Amino acid sequence: MLAEKEECKRMHKRLTVVLALTLLTLLVHTLRAEHFNIRADDPVLIKQGDTYYLFCTGEGISVFSSKDMKKWESRKPVFAEAPAWAARLYPKSGNTELAPDISLHNGTYYLYYAVSTPGANNSTIAVATNRTLQPESPDFKWVDHGPIVESLAGKDMWNAIYPKLALDDQGTPWLALGSYWYGIKVAKLNADLTALAQPEQWSTIASRERNWKLEDTDPGDQLNSAVESPFIFRKNGQYYLFASWDRCCSGVSSTSKVVVGRSDKITGPYLDKEGQPMRFGGGSLVVGGNKSWPGVGHNSVYTLEGKDYLVFQGYDASDQGRSKLWIQEIHWDADGWPSADLQ
């Protein structure tokens, strides 16, 4: 009888340990990777005080806020109506501003965004600023500074969309941008971050193979020119260029994925794990889709509370391919290469 009681105690201890390990595993999984049931195209993130703010493509630029990066509350959009310059140049685009980027610089928040003609590279990147992101503050007011750079169909073989601000090690501001055609570029900005520096300084930092027979007005497809949505992240003295490959914005038919390369200079060259330049088609996989999430991408990267996070969109196969928000902790290997998964 005594032996049976001792065996029961040992079994109870083993079950307690197993249950504790299971709960810990679930907790770690929850902290490392989460998706959220909110529409999020081209999500970017920033924190002010104790509140996180999320900006996404949408009518007027969609805004969400959260205290814990888990429960998100919809806020009023940035623009109640299209900026006057956008309404004049792109009357068919309505009040849809694309691919925002949010940064804090010298006490001012800079919100870069694009307006474009769908399927063409008639596009313009502009910037708006605010002294605070807290709507209840008397200082809260978005001031639009208008266009910074534009691309024209038939003239330019790049697309002025997906702007992302990055500073080099000297504090000089640069704007990464681009989608399809001849790829992703970086351009130097002036000191107040609202215009290109003069004389202009440009570099091509990523591109993919493009059939020479394509018309100049043809953006390309999954087999031609499919690279877009750059994000430059500085870590351990190096610049990491994250970009999206392949087909986005096609619901369950999306095949997009996130790739990366790194460089000692913000203007490149950015090399992948195999030493291949991203300018000539190189790129190492960070995260790709699966059966449940066929396409993922259009990411941004942030260090928050001492951890690095990948913020991106994923197409939910269980919800007709709608784009949903993902926030995932990045794993860095011994050689300093980032990766993530959808587990």
- The one-character DSSP state at 88 is H
Task: Tell me what pLDDT residue 210 has.
Answer: 92
Q: Are 289 and 314 in contact (CB under 8 A)?
A: yes
- Backbone phi, then psi, for 98, in 5-degree steps? -110, 150
Task: Tell me what pLDDT residue 44 has.
Answer: 98
Q: Is residue 167 exposed (0-12), middle (13-18) or buried (19+ Cβ within 10 Å)? A: middle
251 in helix, strand or coil?
helix
Task: Tell me what pLDDT residue 33 has.
Answer: 57
Active site residue 6: no
Catalytic residue among 42, 97, 246, 272: 42
Series of mean pLDDT values for 10-residue runs along the chain (343 residues):
47 42 38 72 97 96 96 96 95 92 97 92 97 97 98 95 97 96 97 97 96 89 88 97 93 94 98 98 96 95 95 95 95 97 82
Residue owning tokens 């900005």? 189
How far apart (Å, rounded) are the C-alpha atoms in residues 97 and 60?
6
Q: In what order do the strands lie in the sheet containing 173-177?
A: 164-167, 173-177, 184-188, 202-206
Q: What is the largest CA-CA distance in the chain?
A: 90
Q: Are 149 and 125 in contact (CB under 8 A)?
A: yes
Task: Tell me what pLDDT residue 317 has.
Answer: 94
187 in helix, strand or coil?
strand
pTM: 0.89
Active site residue 144: no
| The amino acid at 321 | G
Task: Tell me what pLDDT residue 23 has.
Answer: 38
Catalytic residue among 97, 101, 218, 228: 228
